[in-house]
Amino acid sequence: MKNMSVLPVNRRHLLTTVGVLALCCIGMPAWAADEAPEAFIKRITNDTLSTIKADKALRNGDIGKIMQLVDSQLMPHVNFRRMTALATGPAWRKATPEQQKRLQDEFKVLLVRTYSGALSQVSDQVVVVKPLRAGQEDKNLVVNTEVRGKGDPIQLDYRLEKTPGEGAGWMIFDLNVLGVWLVENYRTQFTKEINAGGIDALIASLAARNKTNAKVS
């Protein structure tokens, strides 16, 4: 699979890394179910930047440490299943549970490995959360932010959904960096793979890509 990296520009890599690691660094303590979406994003992004700046291993792109962080803190707070399903498109519904799990696992590894190298670029950035646009639905709500540091501010937006019932709270399922939505970008690439060889071909292609990345990391 070629050109699987979503955003080849270094600054985009940096900001997507901040976004992806924000998914990983959400604190485990319970937060109020009625926490405002802007407060949620401000909390996790500030925690992320602080964690990266304070941890040399994370700044150096330590894959093992990043993956451990993802496994322990990412999944409870991000609807990664929905993210993967949206990126896969209609073929997701036809996939077996085993195929869906394998696809989620390979996609997660791809995202983490793709952007881990940009962590060393994090220095003096701060995140500014913009006022929420009125009239949005809780199932598909966008919080707009800017990451400011050296150079021009960089757009970084989060797409959220509100989970109902016990343990209700906000869940992230997509990121937008400089106008490029992660899910939409990958969906274009995934569709080509699926059309050429089906869902197993996509899984195999992602696995091969991850194996190659592991050798050079």
Does the pLDDT at position 166 exceed 70? no
Does the pLDDT at position 1 exceed 50? no
Place of tokens 């598909």: 140
pLDDT, tens digit, for every residue of 92-130? 999 999 999 999 999 988 887 766 655 556 667 788 999
What pLDDT score does 7 carry? 40
What pLDDT score does 194 carry? 96
Task: Report the phi/psi class of residue 140: left, alpha or beta, with left for phi > 0 and alpha for psi in -120 to 50.
Answer: beta
What pLDDT score does 31 carry? 47
Q: Positive or negative, the Cα torsion across 109, 113, 116, 118? A: negative
Q: Where are the domains of the chain?
A: 10-216
What pLDDT score does 30 carry? 42
Q: Name the least confident of 3-17, 77-91, 126-140.
A: 3-17
pLDDT, tens digit, for every residue of 190-201? 999 999 999 999
Contact 137, 129 (CB under 8 A): no
- CATH topology for 10-216? Nuclear Transport Factor 2; Chain: A, (3.10.450)
DSSP at 36? -
What ranges in 77-181 are assigned the alpha helix state H? 80-88, 91-94, 97-116
What pLDDT score does 152 carry? 81
What pLDDT score does 70 carry? 63
Q: Name the least confident of 34-38, 46-50, 182-186.
A: 46-50
The residue among 162, 178, 147, 156 whose CA lies nearest residue 37 is: 162
Three-point CA angle 16, 19, 21, nearest 5° = 105
What pLDDT score does 200 carry? 96
